[in-house]
Structure 1
Amino acid sequence: MTLRRRLTVLIIAVALLALAGSWTVLRAVQASRLGHRAAADDPRIEPGPVTLGPAAGGPRLVFRSMTWGDHRDELGSAPLADPAGTRTVAAPTCLRFHAAAGTGICLQAVHGLLEDTYRAIVLDADLHERRHYDLAGIPTRARVSPSGHLVAWTVFVGGDSYAGTDFSTRTTVLDTTTWTLQEDLESYAVTLDGKPYRAVDTNVWGVTFADDRHFYATLATGGRTHLVAGDAVDHTLTTLHDNVECPSLSPDGTRIAYKKRVPGLSEDAPWRLYVLDLRSMAETATTEERAIDDQALWLDDRTLAYALPGDDGTDLWTVPADGTGAPVLLAAAALAPAVVR
């Protein structure tokens, strides 16, 4: 092939790539506009104030709203008695969210020209920023203690899925009364099966608070996962039970809802939703038979809420915690809920 022909082929190839890129951008813009129009017409969406404190009308469910359009990823608020009804939405946008006692934690993406970065924003009851912290990885879990004084978050710093074993997490606890930051719970002293334990493959994630000192979390090491009881003052983790991931403590403090790996399920979705009685250590399987990759939330002492894939990304479902009943759709296009009373 002559030099002229090679140049001709190169020019044509570059032109085709440019045309394909322009077409992709135009399609994306068109889809975005359609999404925005759909959101504007969606009766579920109503921009307005969202509060994390007591509000008229009783308890509310606050969550990341996943409806496509201008307000996607903003915080949505709806009556707990009718979470599928009209939702009020307001900034900021969050990937993960939780709140208690007027304190909120929003794990947020910061979009850059070359790549996204992430940060944790501590919110007051009116969603105003109190402090923010840069994150070392992709946000995945967040919780606030019942008093609102402690906040915890987990990020992926290597790998991107709990399903396999090739991942690394970093879990941080923040005291909002002193702004003291415990950057990585892996520095805690671990007692495994009654003996001091240390290993380089230790990962800790999925904090759920009992009070401003005590919490539960998942500890993974040696290819196994364990429920651990944590002490944020003494900086200790003590194993209690095996095969527990993303624990969630019931409001009465007696049970843990969690993801359990069940033999025979897909390697990509190996979990089912269980409840552990902390007094007897007896396990109860819920009637939800779909794979759960979420940290469930207790709506009350009887009902669990959790996310499953949906048309807009994720939907929230509920199921009784005692192994009876059947799953029920709670709110479409929603993720990362918190009950605000």
Structure 2
Amino acid sequence: MTPLRRRLLILLTAGLLLAGLATGVVLHAAARADRANQAQPGGPAVSTGKLTLDQKGRLTFLNAAAGPHRTAVASVPSTDTGGGRTASDVKCARFYAAAGTGVCLQSNPGVLKQSNRALLLDADLRTRRTFPLAGTPSRARVSPSGRFVAWTVFVSGESYASAFFSTRTSILDTRTMKLTPSLEKFSVVLDGKPYHASDINFWGVTFASDDDTFYATLNTANRTYLVRGSLSRRTVTTLLQNVECPSLSPDGTRVAFKKRVLSRTDLWREYVLDLGTLKETALAERHSVDDQATWLDNRTVAYALPADGKVGSSDLWTVRADGTGTPRRLIAGASSPAPL
């Protein structure tokens, strides 16, 4: 055998070995993914069934339990949240619904880049319109009437705990399909004076029942503010500092929010603010809550906390809104609650 043929044979053999190794890695990864998607023994019972957003007395959420229905929009009876859950075929990274209107934020990894989009859903979870997102899904809300939908994405950074992050918050009128791409186009009044800055970020919209007023977080100069906004006037006005991810109570009198309790740590506690007096009440939950809470009724709020020992999963917890009582786990393996 000539030296040239010997070198060619060595190169061919090495190529076959590398190809075999790559195939093995892919098959091993696929096997791990299959195991991860199998329902875990002792986990919640999840079945496919008819799920609509106009069913009264049910609580919708994203199923975070391991199995083929992971990240699917699911629901349980409000009076039996620990029972079997019904899952749809719609999967989301963030979800919310009200008055028969739903919004589903999806994040689909691709070969070259991640594809993010918002789906406007009707009561039967059918897609009415699709909107491309400028970044990674973060927050989603629907107004009580179902007319307006809001979503927030991370344009840079991946969490509110990041040293540097930028968000973009959009609002959609579902009647006219007019999209406000960014709240940063709204006029800002800070401490009673017009305010302009290049570092303004908004996130965590929550709507009042008048289809005009909304509340949100404004971030600028390393400070966060609760703002009250008007859709018709395209303005926002600051109300209070150190308020993030507000959620308006059904009666419109209070806002649940997360408050940074140590300035140099990523530690938040859940509070409720009386909008009439601006009095804050610390809730009984002592864990750090990095979520936009949801009011189940005028007395209780729900929020997601990381599930013990389950990477990437979360449980829904609930606590009284007056600062009394003890937190209790509402639904294991769940996030993004929305009472119907």
Q: TM-score scaled by structure 1? A: 0.91
Alpha-carbon deviations, 1:192-249, whole Å to 9, x = none?
0000000000001100000310000000001100000010110000000010000000
Per-residue deviation, 1:38? 2.2
2:298 match: 301
Return 8-17 or 224-233, whichever deviates more: 8-17
The answer (yes or no) to whether the contact 1:39–1:70 under 8 Å persists in 2 is: no
Per-residue deviation, 1:294? 0.5
Cα distance in 1, alignment partners of residues 163 and 275 from structure 2: 27
Cα distance in 1, alignment partners of residues 181 and 220 from structure 2: 19
Per-residue deviation, 1:27? 2.9
Query: What SS is found at the alignment partner of 1:304?
Result: strand
Structure 1 alignment gaps of length 5 or more: 1-5
2:3 match: none
Q: Specify which of 139, 146, 149 is matched with residue 148 of structure 1.
A: 146
1:121 match: 119
Cα distance in 1, alignment partners of residues 55 and 280 from structure 2: 35
Cα distance in 2, alignment partners of residues 10 and 81 from structure 1: 67
Give yes or no for the alignment of 1:46 onto 2:47. Answer: yes
Per-residue deviation, 1:54? 2.8
How many correspondences in the alignment?
334
The answer (yes or no) to whether the contact 1:49–1:88 under 8 Å persists in 2 is: yes
1:332 match: 332
Per-residue deviation, 1:42? 5.2
Give yes or no for the alignment of 1:249 onto 2:229. Answer: no
Cα distance in 2, alignment partners of residues 133 and 77 from structure 1: 25
Structure 1 residue identity aligned to 2:160: Y
Identity fraction in percent: 53
Give yes or no for the alignment of 1:31 onto 2:32. Answer: yes
Q: Specify which of 36, 39, 61 is matched with residue 63 of structure 1.
A: 61
The answer (yes or no) to whether the contact 2:260–2:269 under 8 Å persists in 1 is: yes
Alpha-carbon deviations, 1:65-119, whole Å to 9, x = none?
1122221111111011111210000121100000000000000123433222111
The answer (yes or no) to whether the contact 2:39–2:68 under 8 Å persists in 1 is: no
Cα distance in 2, alignment partners of residues 134 and 49 from structure 1: 28
Cα distance in 2, alignment partners of residues 288 and 158 from structure 1: 30
Alpha-carbon deviations, 1:139-189, whole Å to 9, x = none?
100000000000000001011110134111100000001101111001100
Measured on the aligned residues, the alpha-carbon RMSD in Å equals 2.5
Structure 2 alignment gaps of length 5 or more: 1-6
2:313 match: 313
Cα distance in 2, alignment partners of residues 37 and 161 from structure 1: 29
Return 331-340 or 33-42, whichever deviates more: 33-42
C-alpha change, 1:272 and 1:18, in structure 2 (3 Å) is farther
Cα distance in 1, alignment partners of residues 199 and 12 from structure 2: 51
Cα distance in 2, alignment partners of residues 306 and 23 from structure 1: 41
The answer (yes or no) to whether the contact 1:73–1:94 under 8 Å persists in 2 is: yes
Cα distance in 2, alignment partners of residues 333 and 26 from structure 1: 28
Return 225-234 or 83-92, whichever deviates more: 83-92
1:221 match: 220
Structure 1 residue identity aligned to 2:31: Q
The answer (yes or no) to whether the contact 1:226–1:241 under 8 Å persists in 2 is: yes
C-alpha change, 1:237 and 1:41, in structure 2 (3 Å) is same
Structure 1 residue identity aligned to 2:221: G
Which residues of 2 match residues 204-219 of structure 1 at below 5 A? Answer: 204-211=202-209, 212-219=211-218
Alpha-carbon deviations, 1:261-304, whole Å to 9, x = none?
0127x72x321111111111111111111111100000111111
